[in-house]
Structure 1
Amino acid sequence: MNKKDIKIIRDLAKRVKAAADDPRQEEQRELWRQHNSLQSLHPLISIYPEGSWQELIPASALNCEDSDFRNIEEALLQTLYYHETMSDDQPVEALWEVPKKIESSGWGIEGREINSSDSRGAWHFDPVIFDAKDLNKIKSPIIHFNEEETEHNRIMMENLFDGILPVQVKGVNRIDYHLLSQYTKWRGLEEVMMDMFLNPEMLHDAMSILCEGHKQILRQYLEQDLLELNNDGTYHSSGGNGYLPVENSASKPSDKVLPIHLWASSESQELAQVGPEQHAEFALPYEKELLKPFALSGYGCCEDLSNKMDDVFEIENLRRISISPWADVKSCAEQLKGDYIYSWKPQPANLVGEFQPELVRSYLRNTVETALEHGCVLEIVLKDTHTCQNHPERFTQWLKIAREEVSLAMDKYGI
């Protein structure tokens, strides 16, 4: 290990530890516990810069020489950026996670895509499944836990952090099902759309195969004791976290972590432009089956679910529903009320072009007031910000406006 790199990492770790020890962090955790339990109408705000991180913390800001250390440095700097600059409602945890090294044999088939010349640009589907016979190529993955490599990684991180941050080995704590995304990478999006009308049996067969494959993966996780509790700051669904009170069923300790102790989620963004009938026929039956064993679940991402809620509500143990930038926020508020988390994804495009504070303010005010007027458990999740056009200050400006509008709306509705 490079001594200079070690010093950089340990100095950053000390700052993270100091941030996590701030009493406000526990206050934030408690707000999330109440929020995720539907016990609080206090709107909470989460920001996920995603593609914009390279503008907030450019490669030139990293000082480590070793590539692995640079990745660790970047992760620590992101945590500190949240605490020192962004300051949204996400708590800082004094912890370094070492993921269990879990290997998979794969699904027996690899997707292909045609990329644009821009490294961050769009891409086009290049199908590898052409007819029903090709479904035989799909194989259920075999899961293997590489305990030796996991232990090696744990020892390395413990030596690196030298007790400054506790190091914890973590198993599978994110269960997300993306059946349509998975299948369209093999079949092609246009082809899947046509199959709904011309070859529905093939599409149903494909969904059944994937559903059974994911069930087998879960069984292997259980057999190898690989599941990990996610009733903490673990990212959930398409924006949110898992914090819960200890008495909640998704938090109860046991000798072995089971699905009934966990959050899970699913989404079908590829069906954003199809009607409720097709969504209910080709996606939800399989997603409901996969989500059924879990304590709590989330649904949706960027797809507009405004006219599909009745079908979505049939998911057992549903707790978090994504309200996309294109959703009818009033209709969704009327339907969700306080029965689910109203996980609103505001328009990230407001951070590009000319930043217009008053436009942002009126836009945020409309949804915040609409949600609180209908008694919704609102979380505001700014994500999919692929760029801020090298204006990092826009995130803090946006957050300041959002906090002001939340405060005004809470006063207006007596929260």
Structure 2
Amino acid sequence: MWMHATMDLKAEPFNAADRAMLRNLARRVAEIAALPIQREREILCTAHNDLKTKQPVVFAFPEGAWTELIPLSSLQGTTPFTRHFETELRRRIYYDDHIRDDQPIRRELYVPYAGRFTTFGLEMRTTESTSERGSRHFDPIIRTMEDVEKMEPPRVEIDWDETRRREEIVQEALGDILDVQLQGMWRGNCIPIDVFAMYCGLDNLFYDMLDQPEMIHAAVRLMVDGWIDCVKELERIGALSLAHTNQFCASGGMSYTDDLPQPDFDGEHVRLKDLWGFATDQIFTDVSPAMHEEFAIEHEKRFLELFGLNSYGCCEPLHNKIEMLERHLPNLRRLSISPWADVEQCAEQLQDRYIYSWKPNPVILAGDRFEPEAVRESIRAFREKTRDCVPEIIMKDTHTVRHDPRRIPEWVRIAKEVCEETG
């Protein structure tokens, strides 16, 4: 959940055809990364995240729609290891050819650690949908304090030999074209309530806040304590990586900042305080600020205080909780303003003190017809209410574009055009 890592990607040497294909893609990415506009974007993104400009930035993350834009059937790699890097390179090229938002494209190519955090000793039970990308039902397995006592703290597991093999293979094939870097954990995520809901059941969670509050506190405390121990272990063994450039940040946005790493960074030993942290509690959308504070924030703030800058929120509307979050969350820099938040209330509270990370509703890309004027009107209305803020406009959670690849580029074009018109 928190590491740029996976145990499922087996390092395999590239065959001649795969190697040649990857090198051709890498050359194209290197050409794109050398364009002057990339440096202009880096300057803008850095000033934005450092709260030094009110100029809006526009980002689009296709996410689920990538399968329509670059179908798996179009990949040429013959192994999962090859296709992992082929996908990354093709996506960067696609951004330059089509999307053209404010994300800089850089020469770094990240190789993920062979690592993971273990779970909590209890196997989740789910009922899966039969439809493609359908929903999932979680069958409750925690109902009492006795069940919580069966939970185990998570552990860090890293296969160092596999990690080195991955790096060596990619470095040999592409290191003379791109800046190949091994990357471990590059942000800290703390999402205890959403995870616990998968163990106890959503309805049960809401009842238990009244009927069994100590059970919830015990479980969330164990989870947060375990994650704190894990990230501290990663710091101790040197498995952290800097992330103050083009890494995806929190629930949207980029990580560019001159405020990280800390001034006393020695250039080698990355610490938690040199990184971004993140927490969210989407399940608490309709929970009161007081209960949100008691059951989530009081625990999560212990995790977030380890990090140099923090982001909070994802899909949950936060307009009636901002004051509470400000009181508790250390080093807060970015707040997610979801499609269901009151844009004007958020603008009045955030002003230019935080990044206003607005996520317009992606349904505008998923309907039977794409309506450009509706896009224009919604973004113009947003800008009229956020002139005194530090806004980023982020299209994400795009599960489909109805196989119409023109929609995301057109959305970006309109968004940037409106931002230029409105200043």
- In the other structure, the counterpart of 1:7 is 20
* TM-score normalised to structure 1 length: 0.95
CA deviation after TM superposition for structure 1 residue 105, in Å: 4.1
User: What amino acid is aligned across from residue 98 of structure 1 in structure 2?
Assistant: V
CA distance in 2, matches of 1:49, 1:343: 17
On the 8 A contact 2:117/2:230 being kept in 1, the answer is no
- In the other structure, the counterpart of 1:198 is 211
Alignment of 1:368 onto 2:372: no
Alignment of 1:384 onto 2:397: yes
Instruction: Figure out how many residues of one structure are paired with residues of the other and give that number.
Output: 407
On the 8 A contact 1:309/1:335 being kept in 2, the answer is yes
CA distance in 1, matches of 2:26, 2:53: 33
For residues 71-99 of structure 1, give each alpha carbon's deviation from its aligned partner in whole angstroms, at most 9, with x where no partner exists: 32121111111111100000101121112
- In the other structure, the counterpart of 2:3 is none
Alignment of 1:333 onto 2:347: yes
Alignment of 1:95 onto 2:132: no
**For residues 298-317 of structure 1, what are the structure 2 equivalents within 5 Å?**
298-314=311-327, 315-317=329-331
CA distance in 1, matches of 2:350, 2:308: 19
User: What amino acid is aligned across from residue 270 of structure 2 in structure 1?
Assistant: V
Residue of structure 2 aligned with 1:149, choices 162, 174, 197: 162
CA distance in 1, matches of 2:248, 2:406: 24
For residues 128-181 of structure 1, give each alpha carbon's deviation from its aligned partner in whole angstroms, at most 9, with x where no partner exists: 112110111211122233221111111111122151112111121021111112
CA deviation after TM superposition for structure 1 residue 252, in Å: 5.4
CA deviation after TM superposition for structure 1 residue 277, in Å: 1.7
Residue of structure 1 aligned with 2:265, choices 225, 243, 253: 253
Q: CA RMSD in A?
A: 1.4
CA deviation after TM superposition for structure 1 residue 283, in Å: 0.8
CA deviation after TM superposition for structure 1 residue 204, in Å: 1.2
Q: More displaced, 142-151 or 261-270?
A: 142-151
CA distance in 2, matches of 1:334, 1:277: 21
- In the other structure, the counterpart of 1:50 is 63
On the 8 A contact 2:359/2:396 being kept in 1, the answer is yes
CA deviation after TM superposition for structure 1 residue 49, in Å: 0.5
CA distance in 2, matches of 1:305, 1:104: 29
CA deviation after TM superposition for structure 1 residue 251, in Å: 6.7
On the 8 A contact 1:231/1:251 being kept in 2, the answer is no
- In the other structure, the counterpart of 1:413 is none
- In the other structure, the counterpart of 2:365 is 351
- In the other structure, the counterpart of 2:194 is 181
On the 8 A contact 1:103/1:146 being kept in 2, the answer is no
Unpaired stretches in structure 2, ≥5 consecutive residues: 1-13
For residues 214-259 of structure 1, give each alpha carbon's deviation from its aligned partner in whole angstroms, at most 9, with x where no partner exists: 11112211221212111111111100121112x6554753242112
Residue of structure 1 aligned with 2:75, choices 62, 77, 80: 62
Change (3 A) 1:338 1:13: same
For residues 284-319 of structure 1, give each alpha carbon's deviation from its aligned partner in whole angstroms, at most 9, with x where no partner exists: 111111101211100000000011111111211100
On the 8 A contact 2:334/2:357 being kept in 1, the answer is yes
CA distance in 1, matches of 2:269, 2:71: 42
For residues 96-139 of structure 1, give each alpha carbon's deviation from its aligned partner in whole angstroms, at most 9, with x where no partner exists: 11122224443211212111111301111211112110111211
User: What amino acid is aligned across from residue 232 of structure 1 in structure 2?
Assistant: T
Change (3 A) 1:91 1:76: same
* TM-score normalised to structure 2 length: 0.93
CA distance in 1, matches of 2:98, 2:264: 35
CA distance in 2, matches of 1:71, 1:317: 34
Q: More displaced, 133-142 or 15-24?
A: 133-142
Local SS of the residue matching 1:175: strand
Local SS of the residue matching 1:378: strand
Unpaired stretches in structure 1, ≥5 consecutive residues: 411-415
**For residues 122-141 of structure 1, what are the structure 2 equivalents within 5 Å?**
122-141=135-154
Percent identical pairs in the alignment equals 36
On the 8 A contact 1:225/1:257 being kept in 2, the answer is yes
User: What amino acid is aligned across from residue 289 of structure 2 in structure 1?
Assistant: P
Local SS of the residue matching 1:82: helix
CA distance in 1, matches of 2:115, 2:122: 19
